[in-house]
Amino acid sequence: MRPAELERVSVAEAADRYVELVRAKTLTGALSQATAEVYARDVATLVELAGEQTVLDDLTGEDVDGLLLAFARRPDGRRSDGGRRQSPSSQARFRRSISALFKHATLAGWVQVNPMTLATVTARERGGLRPERRALTREQAQGLIGAARSLGQAPAEPGRRRDQQTGLRDAVIVLLLSTMGPRVSELVRANVEDFYTNDGVRYWRIFGKGGRTRDVPLPRDVAEVLDDYLERGRAASADKALLLSWRGRRLARGDVQAVIDRVLARVESGQRRSVTPHGLRHTTATHLLADAVDMDAVRRVLGHSDLSTLGRYRDELPGELEVAMRAHPLLREPRQPPQ
């Protein structure tokens, strides 16, 4: 049974406690000494990659993806052939090791949401760790956005008090994630005061990683739903959080997936595909880049300091090569000069 309160421990402290527990199991015969040492070595590598002072609960699915891929790129010191990366079996073993750590951390109350459930990097039998395709296709994304819009326009649910109506809030969550691609931590940290209007354009001041902020304009349709939510859909509360439960408490990261799943249930089966908040971040990046939006603008929307990071977020879309070749710039009819 999970503890009632979260204990914010550092990655290093969590690793020490977990390794102590693992080694204790060798005394009962539950684990062999060799297996326990493998766990200890992998957990020590996790501490090195994540940083000793990082709070374990602050690691997101996106962070876990980065850690897994960083491990995959590490030179394997045990190999004499000068191999540049870990073997596929080593990569799969490392993923199992940290997965076991996070499973224990969830039960121990060190994390409120197991980030492994949000990670998208999986171990392949050949080729090692690879990110799964995460971005929704255009049709799937439009189906989800359409369901969110209809939810925001739906009449009040009969039999429920005004403060229990969550349709507009759920619409705002899905629309912000689908069109702007924030990290889920950035979304649940957002406050009402972070949204402002300048020259008739609605902006969201997003407080991102490393203390960095970015001001991103909202698409007009999303801004309208947001304003509707603030006017008549947000629960009355002294809490300044943008997203509240019907009891007036700030939503947690784990609540967001449940919202996405509820909206997905309203999408027609032919357009429906399960997706995580991080998958919607990939969806935003993929479709902005596929539509030839300036790479630096996409970088600023997502809140990355380096353009090279965008490569992780650019997923393949079915049929996009065919579309690109049909619209080849060298085969277009030349423009006629004005008469």
Q: Whole-angstrom Cα distance, residue 275 to residue 181?
A: 13
Among candidate residues 8, 17, 130, 209, the one labeled active-site is 209
Q: How far is CA 108 from CA 5, 132, 181, 294, in A?
A: 10, 29, 31, 45
Burial 117-154 (b: 16+ CB within 10 A, else e): ebbbbebeeeebbbbeebbbbbebbebbbebbbebbee
Please state the φ and ψ torsions of residue 89, each to the nearest 5 degrees.
Answer: -70, -35
Q: Is 183 a catalytic residue?
A: yes
Beta strand 201-207 with 195-198: parallel, antiparallel or unpaired?
antiparallel
Among candidate residues 214, 281, 287, 299, the one labeled active-site is 281
Contacts of 168 (CB under 8 A, 6+ apart): 151, 152, 225, 228, 229, 232, 233, 234
284 beta partners: none
Nearest residue to 219 via CA among 204, 239, 236: 204
Is-contact 84 75, C-beta < 8 A? yes
Q: Is 209 a catalytic residue?
A: yes
Q: Whole-angstrom Cα distance, residue 121 to residue 2?
A: 26
Among candidate residues 278, 282, 287, 299, the one labeled active-site is 278
Q: Is 161 a catalytic residue?
A: no
Q: Is 278 a catalytic residue?
A: yes
Among candidate residues 95, 134, 169, 183, the one labeled active-site is 183
Is-contact 140 273, C-beta < 8 A? yes
Q: Whole-angstrom Cα distance, residue 328 to residue 339?
A: 27
Contacts of 278 (CB under 8 A, 6+ apart): 60, 61, 62, 65, 118, 120, 134, 183, 184
Q: Is 202 a catalytic residue?
A: no
CB atoms within 10 A of CB 248: 14
Q: Is 25 a catalytic residue?
A: no
Q: How far is CA 323 from CA 134, 137, 172, 288, 327, in A?
A: 21, 14, 31, 15, 6
Nearest residue to 169 via CA among 231, 221, 241, 243: 243
Catalytic machinery residues: 183, 209, 278, 281, 304, 313
